[in-house]
Structure 1
Amino acid sequence: MIDDDDSFRAATELLVRSLGFDVAGYESAQAFLDKCPGRNTDCIISDINMPGMTGIELKQRLNQEGIEVPVIFVSAQTDTTLPRRVIECGGMALLQKPFHGQKLIDAIHHAVEARPLD
């Protein structure tokens, strides 16, 4: 879970843990790359707008490095270009904040099922 909003990140981590998944939280895309470069990650949930590298830029970087991991994007932004940008970078889903937890649960299950096998 990558999000610069501490309370949203903590709540999302609790939800994901309640589903039986291991989860780690990062306050920025760069913190994620520094601590967990993407390998052995089943799914990433990432905010789009964060200080420094955006979630979309993170996905583009992982793509360039050949790291195929499903990314679920979340955003409070209402930019009408976001759905297209998410599709173009290979994102699995875009959830507009606030969203119902079941939407995230469904997106996580879909992303994990779609994850390429190593």
Structure 2
Amino acid sequence: MANGHLISIVDDDPSMRDALASLIRSLGHDVRAFASAEEFLASHELERFSCAITDIQMPGMNGFELKRQLSLHHGAVPVIMITARAEPDLEERAMSSGAASFLRKPFEAETLVGCLAQALEGWPNAR
């Protein structure tokens, strides 16, 4: 992946993980998919990720806590938060936590592609 980035997908829904991974791979990026925030944080490749796409609501650690852990221990990796939940304050909470973008499921593939491009803007090429 000479021009691609390593992107993580963190979602407890296997069909969503698979769909997002396929979409991101089609853009020329390498992808690692994780069923939980804990699994992602335990990855031996953690320092190589250029962006994390995470669900907010998951068993165990949620997307907000994942973002907090990344910020504390792994610097400025952009995080795109996604959710199917409808609470009106979720977008505000996501953005105030430092998320690069916030998307409510279902969303258009092109919308995620745009959010990812924006998150990766200026990020060093392939890590």
Which bin holds the TM-score, normalised by the shorter protein? over 0.9
How well do the aligned residues superpose, as a CA RMSD in angstroms?
Answer: 1.8
Task: Tell me by how many angstroms 1:55 deviates.
Answer: 0.8
SS at match of 1:45: strand
Task: Tell me by how many angstroms 1:97 deviates.
Answer: 0.2
CA distance in 1, matches of 2:123, 2:104: 23
Shift of the 67–85 alpha-carbon distance from structure 1 to 2, 3 Å rule, reads: same
Which letter does structure 1 place at the counterpart of 2:116? I
Quick check: 1:20 aligned with 2:8? no
Q: Which of 49-58 and 107-116 deviates more?
A: 107-116
- Larger strand percent: 2
Question: Runs of 4+ in structure 1 displaced over 4 angstroms?
Answer: none
Where relative contact order (Cα < 8 A, 6+ residues apart) is larger, the structure is 2
Aligned to 2:53: 45
- Number of equivalent positions: 118
Asked whether the 8 Å contact 2:47–2:74 carries over to 1, the reply is no
Post-superposition CA distance 1:35-60 (Å, at most 9, x none): 14631211110000000000110001
TM-score when normalising by structure 2: 0.86
Shift of the 25–60 alpha-carbon distance from structure 1 to 2, 3 Å rule, reads: same
Q: Which runs of 5+ in 1 are unaligned?
A: none
Percent of aligned positions that are identical? 39
TM-score when normalising by structure 1: 0.93
CA distance in 2, matches of 1:69, 1:114: 12
CA distance in 1, matches of 2:34, 2:99: 19
Q: Which runs of 5+ in 2 are unaligned?
A: 1-8
